[in-house]
């Protein structure tokens, strides 16, 4: 099958980003993804994409390094077809706990990775598309926390995701005339490593009773929605925030 183009995914070494890399590859796209530090996991995803007959490249890049966003597009191997999609997936929560105990350093890091890094990379990609006279599709990964608030757990993270949703709606309107669509997927509690990083690996099981479907989501269930929004099958959808959250 001919390539449908390259999709750039931030945070593709594991979890929702890795599931998205596999699914876009199965759908006929080549993949370039960033990762923070886990080189071996990233190489594992590269091998999985290649086994599906598609090209893959993994770039170590800190999504919160606002000075690096500029140069990231230059690092995409020239052998890959043109960029047609961007998935802003990389995200962190910081440690679980009441907001009154959250440190300024945690808040700053969460905002830099989840919001500022995302905006700067999006700006680079959208400028390139506009300069080249081509459209594209951007999918931002938000969280159901943006509307639920996550009290007692990570209010600062919820606020960062609310910013992502506001950014999605505004930018979609600003870029619609350029053929660039911007949407967001808002996952509910999903079985990934993010809960261990937040200090509570068992969180999905703890909160399952409050999920109407009575279970956490799987990464591939979130990836399905992301890939639909990336693809031409959603050609008239822009500025949407799609909840994939088991009814939450």
Q: 49 Cβ partners below 8 Å, 6+ apart?
A: 21, 22, 25, 30, 31, 55, 56
122 binds ligand NAD (CB under 6 A): no
Q: How many CB atoms lie within 10 A of CB 15?
A: 23
Q: Does 90 bind ligand NAD (CB under 6 A)?
A: yes
The length of the chain is: 248
User: In this structure, are residues 175 and 131 in contact, taking their beta carbons and an 8 Å threshold?
Assistant: no
Q: Count of CB atoms within 10 A of residue 4's CB? A: 18
Residue 140 touching ligand NAD (CB under 6 A): no
Q: Does 113 bind ligand NAD (CB under 6 A)?
A: yes
**Is residue 224 close enough to count as binding ligand NAD by CB under 6 A?**
no
Binding status of residue 107 toward ligand NAD by CB under 6 A? no
Q: Is position 5 an interface residue for ligand NAD (rule: CB under 6 A)?
A: no
CB of 117 to ligand NAD, least distance (A): 7
Q: What is the radius of gyration, based on Cα positions, of the chain?
A: 17
Binding mask 40-79 for ligand NAD (x = CB under 6 A): ----------------------xxx---------------
Q: Is the dihedral of CA 34, 21, 47, 93 positive or negative?
A: positive
The SS3 call for residue 163 is helix
Part in contact with ligand NAD (CB under 6 A); list of ranges 75-83, 88-96, 130-138, 169-177? 88-96
Q: Give DSSP secondary structure letters for 41-97.
A: HHHHHHHHHHHTT--EEEEE--TT-TTTHHHHGGGS-TTSPPEEEEEE------S-S
Residue with tokens 């999905």: 204
Q: How far is the CB of 121 from ligand NAD (least distance, A)?
A: 10
Q: Considering the complex, what minimum distance in angstroms separates the CB of residue 133 from ligand NAD?
A: 30
Q: Any catalytic annotation for residue 154?
A: no
* Among the listed residues 5, 15, 85, 136, the single contact to ligand NAD using CB under 6 A: 15
Our finding on whether 36 is near ligand NAD (CB under 6 A) is: yes
One of 92, 115, 225, 242 touching ligand NAD (CB under 6 A) = 92
143 counts as binding ligand NAD under rule CB under 6 A:
yes
Do 140 and 88 touch, CB atoms closer than 8 A? yes
Among 55, 106, 122, 189, binds ligand NAD (CB under 6 A): 189
CA–CA separation, 153 vs 108, rounded Å? 17
The catalytic residues are 157
Q: Which residues bind ligand NAD (CB under 6 A)?
A: 10-17, 34-36, 62-64, 89-92, 113, 141, 143, 187, 189-190, 192-194, 197
């Amino acid at each position: 099958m001919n390539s449908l183009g390259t999709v750039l995914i931030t945070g593709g070494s594991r979890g929702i980003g890795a599931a998205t890399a596999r699914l876009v590859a199965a759908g006929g796209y080549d993949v370039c993804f960033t990762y923070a530090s886990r080189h071996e996991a990233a190489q594992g995803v590269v091998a999985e994409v290649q086994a599906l007959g598609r090209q893959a490249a993994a770039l170590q890049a800190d999504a919160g390094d606002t000075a690096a966003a500029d140069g990231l597009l230059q690092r995409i191997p020239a052998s890959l077809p043109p960029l047609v999609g961007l998935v802003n997936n990389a995200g962190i929560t910081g440690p679980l706990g009441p907001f009154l105990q959250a440190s300024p350093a945690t808040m700053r890091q969460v905002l830099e990775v989840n919001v500022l890094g995302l905006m700067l990379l999006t700006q680079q990609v959208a400028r390139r598309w506009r300069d080249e006279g081509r459209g594209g599709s951007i999918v931002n990964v938000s969280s159901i926390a943006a509307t639920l608030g996550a009290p007692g757990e990570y209010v600062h993270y919820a606020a960062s995701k609310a910013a992502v949703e506001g950014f999605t709606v505004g930018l979609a309107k600003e870029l619609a005339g350029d053929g660039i669509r911007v949407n967001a997927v808002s996952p509910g509690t999903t079985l990934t490593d993010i809960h261990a990083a937040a200090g509570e690996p068992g969180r999905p099981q703890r909160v399952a009773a409050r999920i109407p479907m009575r279970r956490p989501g799987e990464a591939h269930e979130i990836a399905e929605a992301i890939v639909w929004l990336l693809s031409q099958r959603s050609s008239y959808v822009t500025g949407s925030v799609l909840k994939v959250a088991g009814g939450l």
